[in-house]
Amino acid sequence: MFQGGKHKNLKTGLSFDVTTICPLTRAGRPCAYCYVDTHRKVGDAHSKGRSKYDRYDGFVLRLKKSTIDQLNEVGGIRMFSFGDYFSEHRDDVERFLLDCDLRRLYAKTITKQLKFVHTFHDNPRISTIHISVDNLKGDIGRSPINHPVAKRTREKYKKVRVRAVVLSEEDLDYFGKQSWVDILTLNHGINGFYNFTAADRSRIAKQYPGRVCCAGHVCRNCEIMCGLGKNFCAA
């Protein structure tokens, strides 16, 4: 299970995760649509085991130049694909980003932890930070980042984009109309919410051009590249 923070990801290629248990899951209130939890419950080939902490082992320094080039072509290596940021892991994140700087590797992040934004936004190796919101009601099973906070954070930090989890056609209609929502993530998990098909994603990508994640199924086929654009230059 221990991989020194390096994980394979079918969509992004590789990810950096020193835990596969996010703060919400550790607190006993995971998001109702959690993809990681869904795969664990189903027990399919994408299921990721539970690891509370796996110290970063410097794997970035061992990556092939061709791998770094491929990752940079899609905006960088994904941070927090199977977990999220904990303040107690700050040293691991700092060492990881230092190694990214040494190898000229970018990193792109999706998080629900504003502490990460406040602490690491200005790091030169971070290409973009997505803060994730949803439209669920109540305090259980939803993102801890509410809509007003997402808007203010987006206005304050230039690398921040708002990524909305779309769980229904109603969500799509609502978030699609919001100018502060940059990325629409269409639910594709067997988790009790509407499962948007590949045909749905293609249709919706035409309806909301430049905003739909996974319309090309994997990052290398993506037109929007996490809001960076397909002409992102990884210098």
CATH number, domain of 183, equals: 3.20.20
pTM for the complete prediction? 0.91
Q: Specify if 102 maps to a domain.
A: yes
Q: Specify if 234 maps to a domain.
A: no
Q: Report the pLDDT value the prediction gives residue 188, as an integer from 0 to 100.
A: 82
Q: Specify if 232 maps to a domain.
A: no
Q: Specify if 168 maps to a domain.
A: yes
Structural domain that includes position 160: 6-227
Q: Specify if 210 maps to a domain.
A: yes
Q: Specify if 233 maps to a domain.
A: no
Number of domains the chain contains: 1
Q: Report the pLDDT value the prediction gives residue 47, as an integer from 0 to 100.
A: 60
pLDDT digits (tens), the chain, 235 positions: 557 999 887 777 899 999 999 999 999 888 999 887 776 766 655 666 778 999 999 999 999 999 999 999 889 999 999 999 999 999 999 999 999 999 999 999 999 999 999 999 999 999 999 999 999 988 778 999 999 999 999 999 999 999 999 999 999 999 999 999 999 999 988 888 999 998 999 999 999 999 998 766 666 666 776 777 666 655 5
Q: Specify if 235 maps to a domain.
A: no
Q: Specify if 166 maps to a domain.
A: yes
Q: Report the pLDDT value the prediction gives residue 12, as an integer from 0 to 100.
A: 78
Burial 192-210 (b: 16+ CB within 10 A, else e): ebbebeeebbeebbeebee
